[in-house]
Amino acid sequence: MPPRPKPGSKTDRDSLRTELLAVGAPIATIAAEMRTRFGCRPREAWRHVHGWTLQEAADRFNNAVGAAGPATDASLLGKWEKWPAAAGRRVTLRVLTVLAELYGASLEDLLDLEDRRALPESDLRVLRHQAAGDPATAVAVPVPPVPDVPLTGVDLIRTAADESAEWTQWAEVPNCGPISVEQFAADARGFAADYLMAEDPLRVFGDTHRAAVRVWDLLYGHQHLEHRQRLFTTAGYLAAMMAWMTSDLGHKRQASTHIRAAMVAAEMAGDPGLEAWVAATRSKLAFWAGDFRAAVQHADHGAALQAPGTVTALLHCQAADAWAEVGARAKAMAAFGRAEEAAEGDRANILHDQVGGLFACPDGRLANYGAAVYLRGDNPAKALAHADRGLAALQRQDVRPLGTIAQLHITRAGAHLLAAEPEGVLDALAPVLALPAEHRTAPVRRRLRDLTRDAAGSPMGDSAAGRRLQGVVETAIREAKLALSLASPDSDWIGS
């Protein structure tokens, strides 16, 4: 027996379709070539003729049949394509008719010998009748809908039993089990930790994206209810992570798209921890878009959920950060006080973080926010003390977030600037400038620019130290943007 052709990639199929259309090949010829070259089943080949994904074809199917028709989804459509294989589901003449109309095919085009061997004799009689009625149009023209003839007697009893058996087989065979569900959750935890220490943030983003796509693909199918809820939770964390990472890489619009996906997943999962981290991510995006009112609102909404873990402390930190940015010092200090209370209330909270890493607020991250709040409050001594406390805490962690460490050093430099100690500014920045360029993500670059802006407006601005500061920061930002392949000079909008 000759070897079965290897399935083509989407790129291969698109290339073949484009080439054949360019030479005027009819769609039936394209479908036949898809089958020959890539080993597709007939119904799959005709879908590929149009370049549709399973979900796109399912959406068109549902639009065609309306509320009264046999609804489908990507998983069921895939099973119709595989039938009569064990993994498939029997396709009826009514379904075939709709598919034929969608694809511009005939019933005959969508069936091969394997299908005919498995079809009930009653279906074969209908096909023979239609073919005999108008042979000239049986192949080239979509077949009109098959009228619904009510079943009676033994045919009704047998058909109803067959349909119950088919549904039972579908319901009992989910597309993933508890081990797969746990693996995806473990992968999410790994990405959240890797991102904080990654030499290549884009690589971790790519890994996170691939995992998210796999989870989404599973959710197009069906699972036991408990596993489905956990998959939605994992999908939500992965989407929120992509939003956070995308914002760090300087892409505002795409980050907003990811966070909307995370919001939907959080609603479907009904998980307060995920909902709180989604709120934290939304607060971050709003802050660095300059919408400080929304940043506070998202932070307050998330904190009100009283979710387990350290997210409540982080949300109060974010509210403090936003209040400090607009000069509301009393509200900023009150919010940061609530953050410290939340952190002190249960030092074991970090053990309850579902994901950890990027989605955790240990002592070092808490101190980073405190240092920034005190710096904006013109208190260099307390800002420096919190920064030093944060650096010491991060040195004790197994996961050392390089971005947070860099921001703490920049805050130390800002404290020295506020205290009129120009040489201390350059010394504090040395660890940041020694970082690999890939780690100077948008939050770090933005804080470096804020520092040089503040320095330019201070007595240090016209000094030799001020000019040196300006030069080294411009070089560091330029190197980072080249390393991260960021083309837009306006992309440095995002932060902590």
Asked if pLDDT for residue 405 goes beyond 50, the answer is yes
Q: What value does the mean pLDDT take over residues 59-85?
A: 82
The pLDDT score that the predictor gives to residue 304 is 96
Q: What is d(CA 61, CA 73) in angstroms, rounded to the nearest whole number? A: 9
Query: Sorting pLDDT into bands at 50, 70 and 90, what band is 212?
Result: very high
Asked if pLDDT for residue 85 goes beyond 80, the answer is yes
| Average pLDDT of the chain, as a whole number | 83
Residue with tokens 């992509």: 242
The pLDDT score that the predictor gives to residue 68 is 58
Q: What is d(CA 417, CA 423) in angstroms, rounded to the nearest whole number? A: 9
The pLDDT score that the predictor gives to residue 37 is 87
Higher-scoring residue by pLDDT: 112, 349: 112
Q: What value does the mean pLDDT take over residues 8-27?
A: 84
Asked if pLDDT for residue 496 goes beyond 60, the answer is no
Q: Which domains, from first to last, does the chain contain?
A: 10-165 (no CATH), 362-496 (1.25.40)
Asked if pLDDT for residue 90 goes beyond 50, the answer is yes
Q: Rounded to an integer, what is the distance from CA 110 to the centroid of its chain? A: 36
Q: What is d(CA 81, CA 114) in angstroms, rounded to the nearest whole number? A: 12
Quick count: other Cβ atoms within 10 Å of Cβ 424?
A: 17
What is the share, in percent, of the chain residues with pLDDT greater than 90?
Answer: 36
Q: What are the pLDDT digits (tens) for 257-287? A: 999 999 999 999 999 999 999 999 999 999 9
Query: Sorting pLDDT into bands at 50, 70 and 90, what band is 2?
Result: very low
Higher-scoring residue by pLDDT: 458, 494: 458
Asked if pLDDT for residue 169 goes beyond 70, the answer is no
